Structure 1
Amino acid sequence: MVSVTEEELQNKSKGELIKLAGQLRDRRNELNQKASKRASKRDDLNAETREKVDEAQEHREKRDELNEQVQEHKEKRNDLNAKANELFDEVEEKKSDLELDEGKDIEELESEIEDLEFKQQTEVLSTEDERELIEKIEEKREKLQARKEKLDDSEDLDELVEEAEEVRAEASRHHEKVTELADKAQEHHNQMIEAYREADEIRDEADEMHEKFVEAQESADQHHEDFVRVQKRLRELDKQEEEERKSEKEKEREEAKEEAEEIYQQFKEGETLDTEDLMKLQKTGLL
């Protein structure tokens, strides 16, 4: 660092001050250039910080958008699972009502009815026996009809099971979507965190560069102030020299005038003057 105290400013010679002014000017220019480069670097870092913040914001928006979709698919999945559960409960209830594993099958009942009807047609029965036979036939026909109705209901049951399984499958597809979208949302969240971390690092670097810029600029300003002070002192010295030259010339004129007056007095007294004396008289206007 080039500097000058007030004592040095007053005591240094003009030549020394001219040299010092040059040093201050050069150092000031060097520091201004350094400050300019640091300001440019700081601005570049701040721009890079803004880019990273914008990048982080984009990831935040994508994450939030995906999380909204996750929530939508979760709600659909939950609704479908609830519906599937209701359907499967209904299936179990219908199975219990049908009791399909109990009782004789249709073919067996039809065969028994045919046998009884054949017996009724071919055998000679008493009135009591025939009435009992007719009652058995009617009873078996009622069981056959009930069995057929249960089988019809069982076909509806198959459709209900198929519907329940389709609903459950659709719920599973929404669950897969939830997992897929949640993974993507987490990925964007991680990228957002990383972008913010990088932005903080670059911002710290930019702040450090700004401090260096201020340091260089303040030093440049100080050198400029010292340069101005030296220049002002040089102008004062120039003015002093000018005044000294004027004073010296005035003194020389006064001395020349006094000398000329003495020569003129000698001339008036009749003394012979040489050429140099005559020129002195002419120069002062006494001749």
Structure 2
Amino acid sequence: MSVVNEYEIEELNDSDNVELTDERLENGSKGKLIKLAGQLRDRRNELNQMASERASKRDDLNAETREKVDEAQEHREERDSLNEQVQEHKESRNELNAKANKLFNKVEEMKEDLELDDGKPIEELESEIQDLEFQQQTEVLSTEDERELIEKIEAKREELSEKKEKVDDTGELDELVEEAEEVRSEASQHHQKVTELADKAQEHHNQMIEAYREADEIRDKADEMHELFVEAQEAADRHHNDFVRVQKRLRELDKEEEEERKDERQEKMEEEKQEAEDIYQKFKEGETLDTEDLMKLQKTGLL
């Protein structure tokens, strides 16, 4: 959208301008030149007002541009600050994950040393023993089958006992597992902060980009308004210069008229003087003079 329409700026209509040609300036009558000077002056004033309005709008747009740039800079600083925090939490997360990995590796090593992973789990052994005991109690077995079943139950019980003894000796292992899990949990918290802060940083980055985009758009409008200001100001300057030229020409005409009046007065004085001398000559020759003749002689100083 053009800023002329957006700000309802009056467009410069060339048809309203006043044209001054050399022909009009040199050959125009004084009356026409006086009228022309008034037209040039009025149009110059209109154009100066138009230029002033456009300059004001341009300045407003430049101020808006600066505000948007400041806003973008604020988002940039906030984004950078958040990214620094992201980096700090990443470092903490990575350090904690590395620590947790070492602890879990140690847990695995201890498990291997204790052979806790060998054989069946305690719960499974207990369940198998219960099943075998139930079978012994509910089924009618031959002597040989019952002996084999009892031996099997005893073997399971012995395996279960050994397993439980090993587990009883794993207090340090449990503490190590708990510590590893706590470290891993702390690392997860840092990872969550990384995600949250990174999302916020991205929001500020997007807002920064948008603010810069708006600043560029407003700056383009300010540049367009400046061009409109220059257009009006140059037209105003041209009308002012033409007004000055007409004023100068009018002064020249006034001077010419004054010279003409001076010449006319001089010529009239010379005519009056010649007439008075003629009258004085008649007086010397004895002719009778009337009152008007006497007044002419007095006026020229001959009487």
- Unpaired segments of 5 or more residues in structure 2? 1-16, 123-161
Name the structure 2 match of 1:138: none
Which residue of the partner structure matches residue 204 of structure 2?
188
Map of 1:66 onto structure 2: 82
Output aligned runs, 1:43-54, within 5 Å.
43-54=59-70
- What is aligned with 2:299? 283
Give secondary structure in 2 for the equivalent of 1:201.
helix
Query: Which residue number in structure 2 is paired with residue 169 of structure 1?
Result: 185
Partner of 1:85: 101
Name the structure 2 match of 1:248: 264
The answer as to 2:201 corresponding to 1:222 is no
Structure 1: stretches of 5+ with no match in the other structure: 106-145
The whole-number CA distance in structure 2 between the counterparts of 1:218 and 1:91 is: 86
* % same residue: 81
Among 13, 18, 26, the alignment partner of 1:10 is: 26
Q: Deviations over 1:189-246 (max 9, x none)?
A: 0000010001001111111111111111111111111111111111111111111111
The CA distance in 2 between the partners of 1:153 and 1:92, in whole Å, is 15
Could you tell me how far 1:4 is from its partner in structure 2? 1.3
Q: Which amino acid is the alignment partner of residue 278 of structure 1? A: L
Report deviation, 1:149. 7.3
Higher deviation after alignment, 147-156 or 259-268: 147-156
Counterparts of 1:230 and 1:102, CA distance in 2: 117
Residue of structure 2 equivalent to 1:202: 218
Shift of residue 273, structure 1, vs aligned partner: 2.2
Q: CA deviation at 1:271?
A: 2.3
User: What residue in structure 1 maps to residue 57 of structure 2?
Assistant: 41
- Of 248, 258, 261, the match for 1:232: 248
- Distance in 2 separating the partners of 1:77 and 1:86: 14
- The residue number in structure 2 matching 1:19 is 35
Aligned residue identity for 2:216: D
Which residue identity is paired with 2:218? I
Q: TM-score, normalised by structure 2?
A: 0.77
Measured on the aligned residues, the alpha-carbon RMSD in Å equals: 2.1
In 1, distance between residues paired with 2:280 and 2:163?
170
Quote the Cα distance in structure 1 between the aligned partners of 2:163 and 2:278: 169
Equivalent residue, structure 2, for 1:96: 112
Structure 1 position 272, deviation (Å): 2.3
Give the AA of the match of 1:79.
E
Q: TM-score, normalised by structure 1?
A: 0.81
CA deviations over 1:240-277 (Å, ceiling 9, x no partner):
11111110011111111111222222222222222222
CA distance in 2, matches of 1:282, 1:151: 156
Instruction: Give the number of equivalent residue pairs.
Output: 248
Partner SS for 2:52 = helix
Which residue identity lines up with residue 107 of structure 2 in the other structure? V
One-letter amino acid of the counterpart of residue 21, structure 1? A
* In structure 1, distance between residues paired with 2:167 and 2:70: 67
How far has the Cα of 1:36 moved from its partner? 1.4
SS of structure 2 residue aligned to 1:273: coil
* 3-state SS, counterpart of residue 46 of structure 2: helix
Q: Find the aligned partners of 2:30 and 2:284 in 1 and give their Cα distance.
A: 49
Which structure: larger Rg?
A: 1
